[in-house]
Amino acid sequence: MLDTLRANSRSVLTYVLFGIIIIVFVVSFGPGSKGCSGGDIGTTQAWAAKVNGEAVSPTEFDQQYGQLLRIYQQQGAPDLNALLQTRLRQMAMDQLVQRELIDQEAQRQGIVVSDDELSNAIKNIPSFQSEGRFDMELYRRAVTSTYGSPGKFEERMRKDLAYQKMVALLRGTAKVTPDEVKDAWAAENDRLALELARFPFALARAEVKVTDAEVKAFLAKNGAQVEQYFKDHPARFDRPRRLHARHLLVAVAPGAPQDAQEAAKKKIDALAERVKKGEDFGKLAQEASDDPGSKAQGGDLGFFGPGVMAKPFEDAAGKLSPGQVSEPVRTEFGWHLVKLEGIEPAKKETLDEAKPEIARELLETEAAKKLAGQRAEETLKKLQSGKSFAEVLPAKGAQVKLGGQPIVAEDTGTFPVSSAPSVPRLGPAPELFADAVKAAAGQVLPRVYETAGGPVVARVKERQRADLSKLAEHQAEVETRLRLRRESELERAWVESLRKKAKVQTNEAFVQGTARAAPVELD
């Protein structure tokens, strides 16, 4: 869901759409509403961003974040954790800066919105209509409660309409030639599907055995290689202090209404009392915690090092002794009780201490690569002899195994040649992709291909080539899709050029969720 919002946010068109959404949700998400209020979380700030000296108000940030939040929730997406909230706030900030840049450019270009254009746009907004007709009293009440006055709303609306005019002018410069439409059609309809088998290094490593004698011999011959590995991976051998903790969470978002904040605090206090009276912490977490990831395990989070948990959580856990339970701790996720189970002291291994471990790992890695390669080559030879994937890699019976696990045939499904060099299920595989494109349906590819996860063998299951005789019936559709893509690319490059020339400051307190707007002032 966030990827969809983020992809849309890269286009100037996004804010044109959001300009409409502002009106649709003006009552729910205006600056005077509770929909985007932070409650008692955060401090009041004077500005959210400054673009070439022009301030973007906290109210505008609250509106934009509220719109994104509503869209996210309406898509049936999962509850927002702190990380997703921060990403949404960053997207809101980026969109506000983009809008202000284009507002300023529209002014520089002399783009004007007439009073008639403004009046017609407002009268056509469904939120301001009763029984299909514009209702002046409804309009005044709505915009006064959310913007402070009709004048302030109309000022914002006039800027949004100028923004849309600027966008329309820019989009009008995007052109698509017939040859480009033809090439796009060919690319979209040049497709293939593969049947493949992967031989993961991780499985092979589980099968290989390295003896102490082999480790000793390797160290005697490859001391420099081991030492270089130690230098290249310092974090692995400088292990910070780690804590093993359980927790119990009463979830409440930073921007939740005040009554929800108070109810969460009351609940965590009651649970803290039950712990103090001797109830088993793990059983209580299974009963009452709102954390789906640890609830079934009695709140057990395992070991974690610095920077993994939210700072207030980490600080609270760090002050405990094993067996102790903290007082309620507030984070972006809600209220926590934290129980410390154990401490793993910091340890910095010396080169001499790490040498056997490094040598064993290097030997196992090399042996795993060799074993995986051998199994892949054996499988390829059987396929090249005329046997099918189903015969060589049966689901039951005489299976090919690696690390005790059967190697099974996988189907990529049909995918476009334009996606090169990425292959479904494999990721980037340029050499395999190049051979597959040249092959015919049913052809086994000529060799074993190395990928990041291990060797692969493959057969072309389907090969579809574009039929240019069918282009005419789809030409308008392809042209529209290509033009929209061209317009988006043009807009993105244009906005980036505006931003490079601009002086932009953003108030990170809004992105982090530690700031909020002052109450709206009514005129």
Higher pLDDT, 450 or 43: 450
Number of domains the chain contains: 3
Considering only CA atoms, which of 253, 281, 248, 254 is closest in space to residue 267?
248
**Per-residue pLDDT tens over the stretch 57-92:** 888 888 888 888 888 877 766 666 677 788 888 999
| Other C-beta atoms lying within 10 Å of the C-beta of residue 15 | 24
Q: What percent of the chain has pLDDT over 90?
A: 58
For 404, left (φ over 0), alpha (ψ -120 to 50), or beta?
A: left
- What are the tens digits of pLDDT across the range 14-34? 433 334 334 333 333 333 333
SS3 state at 342: strand
State mean pLDDT over 199-213: 93
Q: Sorting pLDDT into bands at 50, 70 and 90, what band is 516?
A: low
Let me know if residue 480 belongs to a domain: no
How many Å apart are CA 441 and CA 414, to the nearest integer? 12
Do 398 and 413 belong together in one domain?
yes
Kindly report the CATH number assigned to the domain that includes residue 278: 3.10.50.40
Same domain? For 339 and 426 the reply is no
pLDDT in tens, 28-56: 333 333 333 333 344 567 899 999 999 98
73 and 24 both lie in a single domain:
yes
Q: Are residues 143 and 31 in the same domain?
A: yes
Asked if residue 285 is part of any domain, the answer here is yes
Rounded mean pLDDT, 308-330 = 94
Q: How would residue 120 be classed by pLDDT, with cut points 50, 70 and 90?
A: very high
> Which pLDDT score, from 0 to 100, does residue 43 have?
57
Question: For residue 249, what are the domain limits?
Answer: 241-345
State which of 345, 365, 391 marks the end of a domain. 345
What average pLDDT does the segment 369-383 reach?
Answer: 96
Residue 327 has pLDDT above 80, yes or no: yes
Residue 68's domain is classified under what CATH number? 1.10.4030.10
Q: What is the CATH number of the domain that holds 422?
A: 3.10.50
Q: Is residue 304 part of a domain?
A: yes
Confirm whether 481 is domain-assigned.
no
Check whether residue 18 and residue 152 sit in a common domain.
yes
> Do 58 and 162 lie in a common domain?
yes
Largest CA distance in the chain: 89
pTM: 0.52
Do 385 and 424 belong together in one domain?
yes
Distance set, CA 421 to CA 183, 428, 485 (Å): 19, 5, 21
Task: Give the Cα separation of 68 and 503 in Å (integer).
Answer: 25
- Residue finishing a domain among 345, 370, 396: 345
Beta-sheet pairing, 43-44 with 515-516? parallel
Closest CA to 39 of 256, 250, 253: 256
What residue type is 129 in one-letter code?
Q
* Pairing mode of beta strands 410-416, 405-406: unpaired
pLDDT of residue 467: 81
Q: Which candidate, 234, 246, 236, places its Cα nearest to that of 295?
A: 246
The CA-atom distances, in angstroms, between 19 and each of 156, 167, 491, 512 are: 10, 12, 17, 24
CA 26/CA 142 separation, integer angstroms: 8
- pLDDT of residue 413 exceeding 80, the answer is yes
Cα angle 388-198-418, degrees, rounded to a multiple of 5: 90
- Provide the sign of the torsion angle of the four alpha carbons 7, 502, 506, 109, taken in this order: negative
Burial 336-355 (b: 16+ CB within 10 A, else e): bbbbbbebeeeeeeeeeebb
Mean pLDDT computed over 106-117:
92
Q: Is residue 482 in some structural domain?
A: no
**Residue where one domain finishes, among candidates 321, 345, 369:** 345
Q: Do residue 37 and residue 166 come from a single domain?
A: yes
Q: Is residue 470 part of a domain?
A: no
- Residue 473 in domain: no
Query: What pLDDT is stored for residue 300 in this prediction?
Result: 94
Q: Are residues 218 and 245 in the same domain?
A: no
505 and 405 belong to one structural domain = no
Integer CA distances (angstroms), 87 to 6, 42, 69, 195, 257, in order: 9, 18, 11, 38, 21
Q: Once rounded to an integer, what is the mean pLDDT over residues 312-323? A: 95
Statement to judge: residues 372 and 313 lie in one domain: no
Torsion on CA atoms 53, 58, 61, 65, rounded to nearest 10 = 160
Is 389 a domain residue? yes
Among residues 415, 471, 434, the alpha carbon closest in space to that of 183 is found at 471
For position 77, what pLDDT does the model report? 60
340 with 361, same domain?
Answer: no
